[in-house]
Structure 1
Amino acid sequence: MDYIAQFKKETTLILLSAGNSTRFSQNGFPKKQWLRIKSVPLWKHLVDVFSSFGFEKIWVTASGDEMTYAQKYFPHIVEGGETRTQSILKALEKVKTPYVLIHDVARFYPVGKVIEALLDQAYHQEVSCVAPRIKVADTLCCIDGSYPKREGLYMIQTPQISKVETLKLALMSGEFSDESSAMSAFGEKVAYIEGSPLLHKLTTPDDLFFAKSILSPPSQQIFCGGGIDIHGFEEGKKMVLCGVEIESPVGFKAHSDGDVGIHAVIDALLGAIGAGDIGEWFPDTDEKYHNADSKLMLQKINAFLQDVGYEIVHLDLTILAQAPKISPYKIQMQEKLAELLGIGRHQINIKATTAERLGFVGREEGICVLSQASLQFRQWSEL
């Protein structure tokens, strides 16, 4: 089937991975596209699978917050839109081939024979789109209590192959749940092939019971990151350290609220997952972070690391301060950080020391905090 190999060269693959994954990501669970297969995210695992099938031109959609991070794994990332249709239209701007194969990352097990059948049909038939479908097996019930016959009803799957220019026009006419419905609504002919139950879609965490029989579990390696932050004192400003208000005649001189403890923790977390530093995420040149609450900044970073598949194992902080005294607040700080991060207090250690009157800390001009963070992949396969 040499024509199939040639047809693949005329086809660009788009993997849709920009969704919010709201039904799946609950209680700190990662977005489904970032579930780790060994050490790579699910979407990158699918890039590798489709590459092994002979697809050379591949683009992946990602949400804006994840763009830079995703490019550490794969260079051809395009920012998705607010809807599936908008994401596809953005990705199609990158496509230079006459055909496009579009696949939802949530369908975690691409079936080679289905893909070959799609390409064969698209090659031999004069249609604008080919989609896989399977018969409905369960009894159906409508909201009004009626029971429609399931004979002649099908569930549409991905991947689907389409003519690029026709698909662009179809998608620009409205919002659609998939390419075949867009093409059909636009008056184009759609062909169908037999799909596969293996093209099961991850929708809720319960679907992992099927996924873990097919996909490799996450690696159990530990990732460590370090953070350090220093702030001088400023009179007339409230002092907040590790989210706790400290009795002091001075606060921290900073663009934000200056919580030097939380800033060190943020850098440690970002360092552990390789996602830059606090200055990249919250630049002091941006007015929206003027007097910003560092607790909210920490929660944003914590939500991001959970979304991309990590969980915190342990945090260790060392606070260097000649004044004020830190020891009376250590338990409160542990409790506050645990609350903000959704972890146990036992996972956080805080140490405090003076500088023996040496340097700027010893002269009571400011405080320095060092933080170490240990993280691991969320072990979804153990659920």
Structure 2
Amino acid sequence: MSDLTLVLLAAGSSSRFESNVKKQWLRIEHKPLWQFVADRLQETGFFKKIIITSSFDDIEFMKNYSDYTFIEGSSTRQKSLENALKKVDSEFVLVSDIARSCISENFLKSIISKIGKSDCIVPFLKVTDTIVYDNETIDRDKVRRIQTPQLSRTSVLKNALKTDENFTDESSAIVANGGSREFILGEDDAHKITYIQDLNKVSCLSAPSRDILSGTGFDVHAFDDKGDMYLGGVKIDSEFGFKAHSDGDVAIHALIDALLGASGMGDIGMLFPDNDDAYKGIDSKALLKTVVTKISNFGFLIVNVDITIAAQKPKVGSYKLPMRQTIAKILGIDNARVNIKATTTEKLGFIGRGEGVGVIANANLKYYDWTEI
């Protein structure tokens, strides 16, 4: 093992990917793409440490999957790399992008074999087509398509990035700062996933698992003689509201927990703490919309949900259809995939005494199938 750290950049927003799903969360069987790439490279045994940059929204969820070193990235690739380099204590660092997912072990070996020969080792591909720049045909033999991963001397790379100028790769920054680079022939199969159509050009990725992922949510709220009552996203004709930090929509709160449970994303209190004034009195439908967006970004599709409302009062039978329609619209699924049930507790317990309402929700998810594009 060389004195070498691997930095994988995965903090991007996937703005060019043209999908609700961030490309780093596409599933390879059960693994998100970023974990698949990291695990694959870790198995080579070339690295003493692997650092993964992540966006603020993703980092806590990423930590649930593995024990790599995670660093919050930034809005640009270069700033994300600067953040990661603060945790690099090896003499050399290899930097790659999660989107370059099918790097072979032989390709890595060819790069690492040059360690120490230059400040930066840069793989490239030759250009075979005619190249025209600013209406002038130029010598294509002088044009190189630069790839990652790139192998750099850590101290040199850190110094090169101490600038306000933005570079699209490490070697350009190093050369601009007076350092040296050596080019080696790259690998056609190390194709970078930028656009969704690029998935058809990579060969090492398996289809996502077809397993159904289930989650359960449960919540209760006591009645309050102040405020309006909202249940399942619908205003209920009642003399009571709910005691709660938000609007107290116990059905949507239970549903959120079911969705978070199925996706492995924790619980409603982790995302929307009840001691945060930002959520005081908030419409619970807005919280549900936020969760649905996050679930979609992280590569899940909602299959169906089932909600059971336990209430001695108020009577909610006439509201079940509006609840179904409201929730289905937020979830982006057909009305038929949202089931609403209502029951009493036969006057037993706090619900039976008319002191509040309890709700149990179940949700089923599946992975977004990128092979069907």
- Please tell me the TM-score bracket, short chain as reference: over 0.9
1:136 counterpart residue number: 127
1:52 counterpart residue number: 43
1:356 counterpart residue number: 346
Q: Is 1:149 matched with 2:141?
A: no
Deviation at 1:236, TM superposition (A): 3.2
Deviation at 1:359, TM superposition (A): 2.1
Deviation at 1:291, TM superposition (A): 0.9
Deviation at 1:214, TM superposition (A): 2.9
Residue from 98, 112, 117 that aligns with 1:119: 112
- 1:25, 1:32 within 8 Å by CA — same for their partners in 2? no
Q: TM-score, normalised by structure 1?
A: 0.92
With over 3 angstroms needed to count, the CA separation of the structure-2 counterparts of 1:150 and 1:34, relative to structure 1, is farther
How far apart in 2 are the matches of 1:150 and 1:337?
Answer: 60
Q: What SS is found at the alignment partner of 1:323?
A: coil
How far apart in 2 are the matches of 1:339 and 1:307?
Answer: 18
- 1:25, 1:31 within 8 Å by CA — same for their partners in 2? no
Residue from 66, 70, 74 that aligns with 2:66: 74
Alignment of 1:1-383 (within 5 A): 8-26=1-19, 28=20, 30-54=21-45, 55-75=47-67, 76-123=69-116, 125=117, 127-140=118-131, 146=135, 148-149=137-138, 151=140, 152-174=142-164, 175-211=166-202, 213-383=203-373
Amino acid at match of 2:36: H
How far apart in 2 are the matches of 1:248 and 1:130?
Answer: 70
1:5 counterpart residue number: none
Q: What SS is found at the alignment partner of 2:89?
A: coil
Amino acid at match of 1:98: E
Amino acid at match of 1:357: K
With over 3 angstroms needed to count, the CA separation of the structure-2 counterparts of 1:239 and 1:190, relative to structure 1, is same
The unaligned stretches of length 5 or more in structure 2 are none
Amino acid at match of 1:68: E
Deviation at 1:318, TM superposition (A): 0.2
How far apart in 1 are the matches of 2:121 and 2:314?
Answer: 69
Q: Deviations over 1:322-347 (max 9, x none)?
A: 22221212121111111112222122
How far apart in 2 are the matches of 1:51 and 1:354?
Answer: 55
- 2:217, 2:254 within 8 Å by CA — same for their partners in 1? yes
How far apart in 2 are the matches of 1:241 and 1:135?
Answer: 62
Q: What SS is found at the alignment partner of 2:6?
A: strand
- 2:3, 2:48 within 8 Å by CA — same for their partners in 1? no
Amino acid at match of 2:55: S
| Number of matched pairs | 369
- 2:132, 2:138 within 8 Å by CA — same for their partners in 1? no
Deviation at 1:45, TM superposition (A): 1.1
Q: What SS is found at the alignment partner of 2:78?
A: helix
Q: What SS is found at the alignment partner of 2:115?
A: helix
How far apart in 1 are the matches of 2:70 and 2:89?
Answer: 15
Q: Deviations over 1:227-271 (max 9, x none)?
A: 011111222312111212222222211001111111001111111
How far apart in 2 are the matches of 1:364 and 1:25?
Answer: 50
Q: What SS is found at the alignment partner of 2:175?
A: helix
Deviation at 1:315, TM superposition (A): 0.5
How far apart in 2 are the matches of 1:140 and 1:358?
Answer: 80
Deviation at 1:138, TM superposition (A): 4.3
1:3 counterpart residue number: none
Amino acid at match of 1:13: L
With over 3 angstroms needed to count, the CA separation of the structure-2 counterparts of 1:190 and 1:370, relative to structure 1, is same
Q: TM-score, normalised by structure 2?
A: 0.94
- 2:124, 2:147 within 8 Å by CA — same for their partners in 1? yes
How far apart in 2 are the matches of 1:299 and 1:187?
Answer: 50
The unaligned stretches of length 5 or more in structure 1 are 1-7
Amino acid at match of 1:78: I
Deviation at 1:150, TM superposition (A): 5.7
Amino acid at match of 1:176: F
- 1:63, 1:79 within 8 Å by CA — same for their partners in 2? yes
Deviation at 1:147, TM superposition (A): 5.1
How far apart in 2 are the matches of 1:235 and 1:181?
Answer: 66
Amino acid at match of 1:66: D
With over 3 angstroms needed to count, the CA separation of the structure-2 counterparts of 1:101 and 1:378, relative to structure 1, is same
Deviation at 1:136, TM superposition (A): 3.0
Deviation at 1:371, TM superposition (A): 0.2
Q: What SS is found at the alignment partner of 1:183?
A: helix
- 1:354, 1:362 within 8 Å by CA — same for their partners in 2? yes
Deviation at 1:280, TM superposition (A): 1.2
Deviation at 1:200, TM superposition (A): 1.0
Moved more, 173-182 or 97-106: 173-182
RMSD: 1.7
Deviation at 1:372, TM superposition (A): 0.6
- 1:114, 1:132 within 8 Å by CA — same for their partners in 2? no
Deviation at 1:364, TM superposition (A): 2.2
With over 3 angstroms needed to count, the CA separation of the structure-2 counterparts of 1:179 and 1:254, relative to structure 1, is same
